[in-house]
A and B are shown apart, each in its own frame.
Chain A
Amino acid sequence: MSHATGSRVQQHIGDPLSAEPALPLTKLEEIFKDIQSDLRFDHELNGCLNCGICTATCPAAHYYDFSPREIVQLLWTENLEGIYDAMQEKIWACAQCYTCAARCPFGNSPGGLVMLMRETAIKHGMQSAKNVLRPFSRVMLKLISTGNQLSPDMINRDHFADWGPNISKIEAPLKLLRQAIPMPTLNTTATAWEVNLKTSVELYTIWEETGVLKQLETVDENLFDVISDIMDEKREDWKDFLADQEDEKDEKDD
């Protein structure tokens, strides 16, 4: 029996659902439609001959149960259960190098499709996404609150023991070593460069307007709360700065 669905494959070859799908069909369809409706979808997926050149050159395929060819095939054939299954773990293996895209004779971008699936996994609050991103929260905190992904104080021997003893070959306080960088913007330790307060406030507007904060709240509510507090503080600082500017202007005018 064929379900009422817009899925191209289901209309032509029938319902690929197994007897006991992990989620109801309507939910699986909703997930697929979220992937498919992204404006990038048709650009990234153009057909597939199963040639496998993408998987042959894929670094993640060397080490994980991951195949870009499989990702493309699942999406091309609209295999709803397979797509959902791949979103549990496989999509997080991709290293985002885009070797697959450069090599694909059809102009597909499996790496780009993986990004659409990751975004959708987050939108649907999949537990797998929450688990995978938990160790990444320090980076997300830094990026969303400051606009810098990486800061000097994150690079230390405690966090990166496997990088060995030579993270810095000169024994001196981090602050002093950063002051010795001949670019004044880089004399910082908590951000990669000094970020203008106005810049941060503008970035927060972008996060809000584009739904990024909502994504964050879905995967990590605690982190969302922490970042919201930081944003409130910086916005207050910016308001204070503007008020001070007004006061100064008034004084001059008087």
Chain B
Amino acid sequence: MDKRVTGSERFTGHGPEWRDSNLSSEDARIATSWVEQKIDKRSMLTNKDRVEDVRDIMWQLEKDGEIVVHRVADEHEPMMVKTLYGWDKKIPTKRLWHHKSCGQCGNIPGYPASLLWLMNRLDVEYLDETDQTSCTAWNYHGSGIGNIESLAAVFLRNFHQAYVAARAQGLPDAYYYPLVHCGTSFGNYKEVRSYLLHSAKLRERVTQILGKLGRLVDGKLLIPEEVVHYSEWLHVMRTRIAAIQEIDCGNIRATIHPACHVYKMVPEDAIYDDNINDGNRLANSTGIMQALGAQVIDYSTWYDCCGFGFRHIISEREFTRSFAIDRKIKVAVEEARADVMIGHDTGCITTLDKNQWIGKAAGKPVELPILADCQFAALVCGAHPYKIVQSHWHASPTETLMEKLGIDWQAKKAEFVAYLDQVKAGKQENLYDPRRMRTSGPGFIPIAKLP
């Protein structure tokens, strides 16, 4: 009998011609087992007819005098990694311009704070400034308000600012290299860079706009040699980070949530390492967790998205929370008996962290601490769980993870509450000199060269 007629089954997604095959569980397993064998393999992503490295177009355009390339220079002390097709990608390790994430800064501030704290510990020079917008792609993917020209213009404006930002400190252009915090910004910028390199019409259009803003270099568009995500920096720095580790995490069972916009958008640019996940999955996050000595445990829905959906997390949260609980949290808890789920993107951390409490109402009382890779790394390197990791903004039970790591979170929390009085008196501790954060406009005080 067609179950749809009785309304007893809520069927969606496959069109009115669909009929239940009524396979037995065993037959269904056999029928789909080939998918499971392929789905975990790198070949799933590489099995394409047309693949190109857009950087070849980029170098040619620069040679033709059409664009200027912002290079990852020796001064940025780059480290080389391999991407999906075995191509090289340069990851700058110092002199970094932080391109912040609106979602991280807005509701998971311990995410960027942990990253900057790690950089301080490793003596990495950086700039965190106010002259930047978000990439605007969260809004674009959620609403459709925006277009390829606006995305391209925002990308080029922000990256131009990274190029010239050091002038405020009396330093030369190209001193800092942009480091993108958000996974969606990272995916979006790479996609937009590709369209810019392919389309003369788009270049012409945005050159007019960037010209009006005074954001051209020698009258030309400035294109970054590499678009670099912070998780890539963390990945290449993993051995150095492990060297300053203070807390053993060998007893921690960690699951990894690879972010869609980090490795499914422009997949050819994502990092793969034959020594991490046998080269079959993205190396980011798994690499640092293994370097720190945690147990990285697999789970069957690793490839699923988190359920964020861009618009959905704001106005269709039934979808977001159902997907987050059923396809991610519940699976990681039941299959992997995970102590923590580690991610490397804004929306994923927000979605997975915030959508657990409501599970109780649906008879799915799952609990799993959620942290970004850099927060976990900072935590085991001795960062304060509240002052730096800012774990109080996390709705998920990060306390259980801290207990397993041997951190007395109650004492640390009490320290932080006491510290708030100091903050009230205007004596907060900062990760950098606040005078650095304005590079122009109201409030900017020219400083020839900060120490």
Question: CB within 8 Å of B: which residues of A?
Answer: 38-40, 43, 46, 55-67, 70, 92, 95-99, 101-103, 105-107, 115, 118-119, 121-122, 129, 132-133, 135-136, 138-140, 143-144, 147-152, 154-155, 160, 162-170, 172, 176-186, 192-200, 202-203, 205-207, 209-212, 215-216, 219, 241
A102 to B116, CA, bound (A): 32
Residue among B133, B142, B424 making CB contact with A195, cutoff 8 Å: B133
Question: With A98-B261, A169-B392 known to touch, is A197 a contact of B442 (CB < 8 Å)?
Answer: yes
User: Taking the nearest CB of chain A, how far is it from the CB of B401, in angstroms?
Assistant: 14
B323 touches A192 (CB 8 A): no
Q: Which residues of the partner chain B approach A66 to less than 8 Å between Cβ atoms?
A: 12-13
B304 touches A59 (CB 8 A): yes
Q: Which residues of the partner chain B approach A203 to less than 8 Å between Cβ atoms?
A: 133, 154, 157
A219 to B116, CA, bound (A): 40
User: Taking the nearest CB of chain A, how far is it from the CB of B343, in angstroms?
Assistant: 14
Question: With A55-B14, A133-B143 known to touch, is A192 a contact of B213 (CB < 8 Å)?
Answer: no
| B431 in the interface (beta carbon within 8 A) | yes
A166 to B321, CA, bound (A): 16
Chain A residue nearest to B202 in the complex (CB)? A39
A102 touches B322 (CB 8 A): no
| B167 in the interface (beta carbon within 8 A) | no
B134 touches A148 (CB 8 A): yes
Q: Which residues of the partner chain A approach B307 to less than 8 Å between Cβ atoms?
A: 59, 95
Report, nearest first, the 7 A-B pairs whose CB atoms are least far apart: A164-B357, A118-B144, A147-B133, A61-B13, A97-B305, A135-B315, A150-B106
A206 touches B154 (CB 8 A): yes
Question: With A163-B358, A183-B109 known to touch, is A62 a contact of B195 (CB < 8 Å)?
Answer: no
Kindly name the residue among A43, A138, A164 whose own CB sees the greatest number of chain B CB atoms within 10 A.
A164
Q: Which residues of the partner chain A approach B424 to less than 8 Å between Cβ atoms?
A: 176, 179
A209 to B207, CA, bound (A): 12
A58 touches B264 (CB 8 A): no
User: Taking the nearest CB of chain B, how far is it from the CB of A246, in angstroms?
Assistant: 14
Residue among B130, B141, B145, B309 making CB contact with A212, cutoff 8 Å: B145
A150 to B201, CA, bound (A): 32
Question: With A61-B13, A121-B144, A136-B314 known to touch, is A196 a contact of B149 (CB < 8 Å)?
Answer: no
Given contacts A152-B106, A170-B420, A183-B430, 10 further A-B contacts (CB under 8 A): A59-B327, A99-B304, A119-B147, A132-B311, A139-B143, A150-B107, A170-B417, A185-B105, A193-B100, A241-B442
| B59 in the interface (beta carbon within 8 A) | no
B150 touches A99 (CB 8 A): no
A183 touches B128 (CB 8 A): yes
A59 touches B305 (CB 8 A): yes
Chain B residue nearest to A244 in the complex (CB)? B442
User: Taking the nearest CB of chain B, how far is it from the CB of A45, in angstroms?
Assistant: 13
Kindly name the residue among A38, A97, A147, A150 whose own CB sees the greatest number of chain B CB atoms within 10 A.
A97
- 6 chain-A/chain-B pairs, Cβ below 8 angstroms: A39-B198, A106-B49, A135-B315, A166-B357, A212-B145, A212-B147
A162 to B142, CA, bound (A): 20
A166 to B423, CA, bound (A): 22
B134 touches A210 (CB 8 A): no
Which B residues, 64 to 98, have Cβ-Cβ distances below 8 Å to chain A? none
A144 to B143, CA, bound (A): 12
B103 touches A192 (CB 8 A): yes
Kindly name the residue among A60, A167, A210 whose own CB sees the greatest number of chain B CB atoms within 10 A.
A210
Question: With A64-B13, A150-B107, A163-B395 known to touch, is A98 a contact of B147 (CB < 8 Å)?
Answer: no
A196 touches B438 (CB 8 A): yes
A195 to B437, CA, bound (A): 10
Q: Which residues of the partner chain B approach A219 to less than 8 Å between Cβ atoms?
A: 145
| B260 in the interface (beta carbon within 8 A) | yes
B109 touches A148 (CB 8 A): no
Question: With A196-B438, A197-B441 known to touch, is A63 a contact of B134 (CB < 8 Å)?
Answer: no
Residue among B387, B392, B438 making CB contact with A182, cutoff 8 Å: B387
User: Taking the nearest CB of chain A, how far is it from the CB of B164, in angstroms?
Assistant: 12
Kindly name the residue among A67, A136, A211 whose own CB sees the greatest number of chain B CB atoms within 10 A.
A136
A57 touches B145 (CB 8 A): no
Chain A residue nearest to B11 in the complex (CB)? A65
A61 to B104, CA, bound (A): 28
Q: Which residues of the partner chain A approach B442 to less than 8 Å between Cβ atoms?
A: 197, 241
User: Taking the nearest CB of chain B, how far is it from the CB of A92, in angstroms?
Assistant: 7
Q: Which residues of the partner chain A approach B388 to less than 8 Å between Cβ atoms?
A: 182
Which B residues, 369 to 393, have Cβ-Cβ distances below 8 Å to chain A? 386-388, 390-393
Q: What does the 1/0 interface line of B213-236 toward A look like (CB < 8 Å)?
A: 101000000000000000000000
User: Taking the nearest CB of chain A, how far is it from the CB of B337, in angstroms?
Assistant: 23
B145 touches A107 (CB 8 A): no
User: Taking the nearest CB of chain A, how far is it from the CB of B321, in angstroms?
Assistant: 7
Chain B residue nearest to A38 in the complex (CB)? B148
A58 to B213, CA, bound (A): 40
A105 touches B134 (CB 8 A): no
A194 to B423, CA, bound (A): 18
A194 to B317, CA, bound (A): 29
B420 touches A149 (CB 8 A): no
Q: What does the 1/0 interface line of B429-451 toward A look like (CB < 8 Å)?
A: 11110100111111000000000
Q: Which residues of the partner chain B approach A183 to less than 8 Å between Cβ atoms?
A: 105, 109, 112-113, 116, 128, 430-432
A103 to B41, CA, bound (A): 11
